[in-house]
Structure 1
Amino acid sequence: MMALSNSIGENLAIINEKIKKAYDGVPNNPNKYPALLAVSKIKSKELIIDAYQHGQRHFGENYIQELYDKANDPEVIAKCPEIKWHMIGHVQTNKINKLLGVPNLFCIQTVDSIKLAENLNAAINRHANITDKIRIFAQINTSNEAQKSGIDVTDAEELITFILNKCDRFELVGLMTIGIYDYDVSLGPNPDFLKLIQIRKEVCHLFNKPENEIELSMGMTTDFEHAIALGSTMVRVGTAIFGVRDRHK
């Protein structure tokens, strides 16, 4: 873990260098260059502004109310005009309208059921101020852990088929997984990442899509380099940028 004495700018520089090294380490890498998503949950707007001023543009939040409040904060709006917000936590259907009220909402990474996809698509159609399609990821529970969100691996194809055929207001950007925490990479490639890669392969074959058109959001602070080596195109990093979260602040 990076020393907490580092500034956010220094941490971002270190992480971006590691991303480049991991990506360049794959010969003839066919995947899109990985994007860095700064996970800013339970972090202050001042830290978000600091990261933005050091060049970071993509930020992820786990809770809709917190995302809504930060995105609508006048100082964040004024100082971070090109910020791109990602929803990376579970989406409750009764909070969809609040989520769609987030300015600069760039992507919803956690569409994990047909019911949510149907309700979200319908809400976008009712929302007069949203004219473009909303970028989304289908979230897959590759580790099959009950406490984690995401659709079961065996049902993933059905969800993705529904999204592509029935959700006219979505742009399916890719697939997302959390995976098991603290996997020991000395045991070999992370099986959760391999499952997501296999699902992408099957979906792209089914819908005749090039695999590099479907992104993979996988890898966090402890394993993002390993995820990139396997093919991740977006890594979600919080602690290594902002330090350990203090839930009492």
Structure 2
Amino acid sequence: MNTLQEARNQVLEQIATASLQAKRDVDAVSLLAVSKTHPAEILKEMYATGQRAFGENYLQEALDKIAILSDLDIEWHFIGHVQRNKTKHLASSFAWVHGVDRLIIAERLSAQRDASQQPLNICLQVNIDDQDSKDGCAPAEVAELVRQMSRLPNLKLRGLMVIPAPNNTQAFFDARQLFEQVKAGHAHPEDWDTLSMGMSGDMVDAIAAGSTMVRVGTALFGARDYSK
């Protein structure tokens, strides 16, 4: 068994154990492999382990990998900050965009998504614990943004994405509470199914609080080489 297979098996085991401890279905949490800065050949090896969903932060790097790996059935997620001048490529090349935090961004993604494609899955990024250094809308803005974004064609608003400050486990529970509040008043609650939160160092706490998708990089691929 190769190192990537071992790493993925360990992460999946951690997810299953955390789910059982939280009295949740072990299949309720999906694994998104955060592959930024790792070359296409490494992604291809990770794909061979059974991983299908990959998350990228940097647009040009992601587009290069999408082109190289076009023969593979990869579900591409963009999890970086979304800039207005980059929405066209995001709309055409990705299955998911997680970092949507303004109505204008959602409107551009909707307008630039080809109607022949499946609707673009999006998550509303929320600055759940009011960090100066983090993107995301304020919790108080969520209900109105959800109402407006849910009306846009060519998009499917799936839920929330949060990146709390380190060791702020309460923020995960706050995000879950906000998620449930929105779902209770949602016109299509069946579409509101994704709470994207938790990374390599805090995914157990995130799962305990109700995460449905963990974004894991280091635990799968090892430390990144930021010199590249």
Q: How does 1:1-249 map to 2 (within 5 A)?
A: 7-27=3-23, 29=24, 33-73=28-68, 76-78=69-71, 81-102=72-93, 105-124=94-113, 127=114, 130-165=116-151, 167-181=152-166, 183=167, 190-207=169-186, 210=189, 213-249=192-228
Instruction: Answer yes or no: is the 8 Å Cα contact 2:53–2:75 preserved in 1.
Output: yes
Instruction: Answer yes or no: is the 8 Å Cα contact 1:204–1:210 preserved in 2.
Output: yes
SS at the partner of 1:137?
Answer: strand
Change beyond 3 A, Cα 1:120–1:209: closer
Looking at structure 2, the residues matched to 113 and 228 of structure 1 have their Cα atoms a distance apart, in angstroms, of 27
Residue 187 of structure 1: aligned partner: none
Q: Which runs of 4+ in 1 moved over 3 A?
A: 208-213
Per-residue CA deviation, residues 105-135 of structure 1 (Å, 9 max, x unaligned), is 22111111111111221222xx36x432111
Looking at structure 1, the residues matched to 143 and 155 of structure 2 have their Cα atoms a distance apart, in angstroms, of 16
Aligned residues: 227
Per-residue CA deviation, residues 197-237 of structure 1 (Å, 9 max, x unaligned), is 11112111222655894211000000111111111110000
Give the drift of 1:146: 2.1
Change beyond 3 A, Cα 1:92–1:67: same
Looking at structure 1, the residues matched to 217 and 122 of structure 2 have their Cα atoms a distance apart, in angstroms, of 21
Give the drift of 1:32: 6.0
User: How much identity, in percent, do the aligned residues show?
Assistant: 37
Give me the TM-score of the superposition, normalised by structure 2: 0.92
Give the drift of 1:19: 0.6
Looking at structure 2, the residues matched to 18 and 88 of structure 1 have their Cα atoms a distance apart, in angstroms, of 22
Give me the TM-score of the superposition, normalised by structure 1: 0.85
Change beyond 3 A, Cα 1:106–1:131: closer
Unmatched 5+ stretches in structure 2: none
Instruction: Answer yes or no: is the 8 Å Cα contact 1:141–1:178 preserved in 2.
Output: yes
SS at the partner of 2:95?
Answer: strand
RMSD of aligned residue pairs (Cα, Å): 2.0
Instruction: Answer yes or no: is the 8 Å Cα contact 2:97–2:122 preserved in 1.
Output: yes
Give the drift of 1:31: 9.0
Looking at structure 2, the residues matched to 161 and 199 of structure 1 have their Cα atoms a distance apart, in angstroms, of 14
Letter in 2 for 1:55: G
Per-residue CA deviation, residues 81-113 of structure 1 (Å, 9 max, x unaligned), is 2111100001111111122342xx221111111
Per-residue CA deviation, residues 160-219 of structure 1 (Å, 9 max, x unaligned), is 111113x121111111101112x06xxxxx122122111112111222655894211000
Per-residue CA deviation, residues 16-44 of structure 1 (Å, 9 max, x unaligned), is 011111112223x3796111000000111
Looking at structure 1, the residues matched to 198 and 61 of structure 2 have their Cα atoms a distance apart, in angstroms, of 23
Looking at structure 2, the residues matched to 234 and 225 of structure 1 have their Cα atoms a distance apart, in angstroms, of 12
SS at the partner of 1:72?
Answer: helix
